[in-house]
């Protein structure tokens, strides 16, 4: 199983069923061209779903600070651009074919019903005041993405702190060195 460390978290993904757009040479050729991506993607055969996950670390913010104002726009861009990348893969454009060749077979075609597409954002947050900001942020995120995700038969987007993500069964964990120091 591929294990990654990103934003203060450990992400463990299924063998042969996961990808990172940033590692695809076809995506790398688009670097610097105003295109964002979710950090991780994987096929979950048990849940018959394709997952896109992005993680961010805000555990370093002091108690007096709030989540950055640009965060909402950043999340929207990552979700939208990742769906565009997958659309190019599934449509078979030249760039899409380049990226497609580096994706697991299970991710190369649109996940038709009853298969599902899941978009998840996890923020590493330890401050309870910042955690309280997540619910209204998720409401605004969903409102701004609603039409875009409907095009892919997606009903919801998940935005959660890392502890909630772990309880949800996402393939994330706090890094061992950090669990000992808490």
Number of domains, the chain? 1
Q: Which residues contact 13 (CB under 8 A, 6 or more apart)?
A: 1, 2, 3, 4, 40, 42, 171
- 175 pLDDT exceeds 80? yes
Mean pLDDT of the chain: 92
- 161 pLDDT exceeds 70? yes
Alpha-carbon gap, residue 182 to 179, rounded angstroms = 5
pLDDT at site 181: 41
Tell me the per-residue pLDDT of 83-121, one tens digit each, with 9 for 90 and over. 999 999 999 999 999 999 999 999 999 887 767 899 999
Strand partners of residue 155: none
pLDDT at site 78: 98
Tell me the per-residue pLDDT of 4-13, one tens digit each, with 9 for 90 and over. 999 999 999 9
Domain holding 120, by residue range, is 3-181
Alpha-carbon gap, residue 129 to 138, rounded angstroms = 15
The model's pTM: 0.93
pLDDT at site 63: 80
Alpha-carbon gap, residue 179 to 173, rounded angstroms = 9
């Amino acid at each position: 199983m591929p294990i990654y460390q990103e934003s203060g978290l450990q992400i463990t993904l299924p063998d042969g069923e996961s990808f990172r757009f940033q590692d695809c040479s076809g995506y790398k050729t688009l670097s610097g061209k105003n295109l964002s991506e979710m950090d991780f993607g994987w096929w979950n055969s048990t849940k018959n779903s394709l997952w896109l996950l992005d993680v961010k670390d805000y555990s370093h913010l002091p108690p007096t600070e709030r989540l950055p104002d640009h965060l909402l726009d950043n999340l929207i861009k990552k979700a939208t651009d990742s769906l565009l990348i997958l659309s190019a893969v599934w449509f078979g454009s030249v760039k899409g074919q380049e990226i497609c060749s580096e994706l697991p077979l299970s991710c190369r075609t649109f996940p038709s019903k009853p298969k599902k597409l899941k978009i998840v954002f996890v923020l590493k947050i330890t401050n309870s005041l910042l955690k309280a900001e997540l619910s209204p942020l998720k409401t605004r995120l969903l409102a701004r993405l609603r039409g875009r995700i409907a095009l892919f038969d997606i009903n919801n987007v998940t935005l959660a702190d890392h502890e909630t993500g772990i309880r949800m069964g996402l393939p994330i964990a706090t890094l061992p060195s950090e669990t000992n120091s808490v």
